[in-house]
């Protein structure tokens, strides 16, 4: 129990030390381009998620299923049309659409609907089907000055620096494409176009960073996002919120893992407990008490009885008891028959015990003499026979 308290104390001190050291350290900014509506980091879409209804003037519906799953569910196979009309909206740092979803979006747009797609690079099917090509201008990787071709939206340029790539449409189909926005002073770099397709239209935008948190909150950049989204036709807008791009974790540990100090404290706690279990895995058992064997009271009892008879002067009975004890000892220790104490008995006892033959003969003689003697034994007889028997027993 004492060691356990020490382990717990060490872990508590480690936790406290990490938290104290980390508390004075400025939190590092996560510049990961997650494009997630759940992230408040610079390149998340948390602000847009809360402001998009006001920017579009309508209630935007978030799609957590893929566009294919949603559009397929609203398709009326009997009438070969879609039950719901509107706009598909997708904003991501890179291509986050599967092939089946892209094909379904094209089919949806061809039925008189619209799709607003903002990506740094577009899938090949867009380039092939809409006759467009994109390229990056390596000389304009610092700050982009974004504006609009429609004079009704003003001639103001919005200078965007963080997270933007100078991707532009290097080739467009002029018969079906309308230029909506550029990012160069001479309007030579087109980053926003409308491409007619079937009975609908695609609105393609190559600067998705303009919709991220850092630009929605910086200076007047939110005006650019609002003006860009104002091109969406009236009607319901369905925004594909890609679950695989920074979606909030459902893990109970998500807060701990989001805080560096708590995360390191948690790791130390886990590995500390594992080390504690490994080093204490051996079976512990309380001390087994030593049980003293029960004393053999037979000899003590015999001595007590002998002393009793001796004090009463009954030497004959005491000799008889000693002879009985002696013969019992011989039978148990050497497995010799003591019925007849003759020469054969003497020889067997001599061979098995290793005692001197003269001592054995003297003891046997005294026993036989005592048994045959009609006289009452005296103290001298007791001493003599006791001395002889003790020499054989010791």
Q: What is the 3-state secondary structure (H, E, C) of 59-90?
A: CCEEECCCHHHHHHHCEECCCCEECCCCEEEE
Overall number of domains in the chain: 3
Quote the pLDDT of residue 246.
43
In this structure, the answer to whether residues 270 and 324 fall within a common structural domain is no
In this structure, the answer to whether residues 159 and 192 fall within a common structural domain is yes
Start-to-end CA distance of the chain, whole Å, equals: 53
| Residue 183, Cβ density class (10 Å: 0-12 exposed, 13-18 middle, ≥19 buried) | buried
Has residue 290 been placed in a domain? no
Quote the pLDDT of residue 149.
92
In this structure, the answer to whether residues 125 and 261 fall within a common structural domain is no
Which residue ranges of the chain lie beneath pLDDT 50? 245-250
In this structure, the answer to whether residues 60 and 143 fall within a common structural domain is yes
Has residue 38 been placed in a domain? no
Instruction: Determine the structural domain holding residue 268 and report its residue range.
Output: 1-28+252-284
Quote the pLDDT of residue 389.
84
Q: Which residue has the tokens 């001479």?
A: 186
Q: Can you tell me the distance from the alpha carbon of 77 to that of 81, in angstroms, rounded to the nearest whole number? A: 7
Residues 6+ apart with CB under 8 A from 87: 113, 114, 115, 116, 232, 233, 235, 236, 237, 238
Q: Can you tell me the distance from the alpha carbon of 389 to that of 385, in angstroms, rounded to the nearest whole number? A: 6
In this structure, the answer to whether residues 66 and 117 fall within a common structural domain is yes
In this structure, the answer to whether residues 336 and 234 fall within a common structural domain is no
Has residue 34 been placed in a domain? no
Please count the CA atoms within 13 angstroms of the CA of 54 that sit on its side-chain side. 7
Has residue 37 been placed in a domain? no
Domain boundary among 245, 272, 307: 245
Quote the pLDDT of residue 7.
67
Has residue 374 been placed in a domain? yes
Quote the pLDDT of residue 260.
73
In this structure, the answer to whether residues 205 and 84 fall within a common structural domain is yes
In this structure, the answer to whether residues 213 and 262 fall within a common structural domain is no
3-state helix, strand, coil in the chain (%, to 5): 45, 15, 40
In this structure, the answer to whether residues 308 and 278 fall within a common structural domain is no
In this structure, the answer to whether residues 162 and 62 fall within a common structural domain is yes
Q: 124: domain CATH number?
A: 3.40.50
Has residue 367 been placed in a domain? yes
Has residue 291 been placed in a domain? no
Has residue 188 been placed in a domain? yes
In this structure, the answer to whether residues 307 and 181 fall within a common structural domain is no
Quote the pLDDT of residue 293.
77
In this structure, the answer to whether residues 203 and 275 fall within a common structural domain is no
């Amino acid at each position: 129990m004492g060691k356990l308290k020490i382990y717990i104390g060490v872990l508590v001190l480690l936790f406290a030390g990490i938290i104290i050291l980390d508390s004075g350290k400025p939190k590092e900014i996560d510049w990961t381009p997650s494009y997630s509506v759940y992230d408040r980091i610079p390149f998340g879409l948390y602000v847009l998620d809360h402001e998009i209804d006001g920017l579009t003037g309508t209630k935007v519906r978030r799609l957590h299923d893929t566009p294919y799953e949603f559009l397929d569910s609203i398709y009326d196979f009997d009438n070969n049309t879609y039950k719901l009309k509107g706009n598909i909206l997708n904003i991501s740092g890179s291509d986050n659409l599967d092939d089946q979803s892209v094909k379904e979006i094209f089919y949806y747009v061809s039925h008189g609907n619209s799709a607003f797609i903002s990506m740094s690079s577009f899938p090949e099917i867009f380039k092939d089907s809409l006759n467009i090509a994109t390229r990056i201008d390596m000389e304009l990787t610092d700050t982009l000055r974004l504006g609009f071709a429609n004079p009704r939206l003003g001639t103001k340029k919005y200078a965007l620096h963080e997270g933007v790539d100078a991707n532009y449409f290097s080739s467009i189909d002029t018969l079906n494409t309308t230029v909506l926005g550029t990012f160069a002073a001479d309007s030579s770099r087109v980053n926003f176009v409308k491409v007619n397709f079937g009975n609908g239209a695609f609105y393609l935008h190559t600067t998705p960073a303009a919709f991220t948190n850092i630009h929605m909150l910086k200076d007047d950049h939110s005006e650019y996002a609002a003006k860009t989204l104002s091109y969406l036709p009236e009607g319901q807008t369905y925004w594909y919120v890609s679950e695989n791009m920074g979606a909030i974790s459902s893990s109970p540990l998500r807060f701990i893992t989001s805080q560096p100090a708590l995360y390191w404290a948690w790791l130390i706690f886990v590995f500390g407990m594992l080390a504690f279990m490994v080093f204490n895995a051996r079976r512990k058992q309380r001390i087994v008490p030593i049980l003293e064997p029960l004393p053999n009271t037979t000899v003590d009892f015999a001595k007590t009885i002998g002393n009793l008879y001796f004090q009463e002067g009954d030497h004959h009975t005491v000799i008889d008891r000693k002879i009985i004890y002696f013969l019992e000892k011989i039978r148990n220790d050497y497995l010799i028959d003591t019925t007849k104490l003759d020469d054969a008995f003497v020889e067997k006892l001599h061979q098995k015990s290793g005692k001197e033959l003269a001592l054995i003969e003297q003891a046997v003689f005294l026993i036989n003499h005592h048994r045959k003697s009609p006289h009452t034994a005296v103290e001298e007889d007791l001493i003599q026979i006791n001395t002889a028997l003790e020499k054989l027993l010791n």
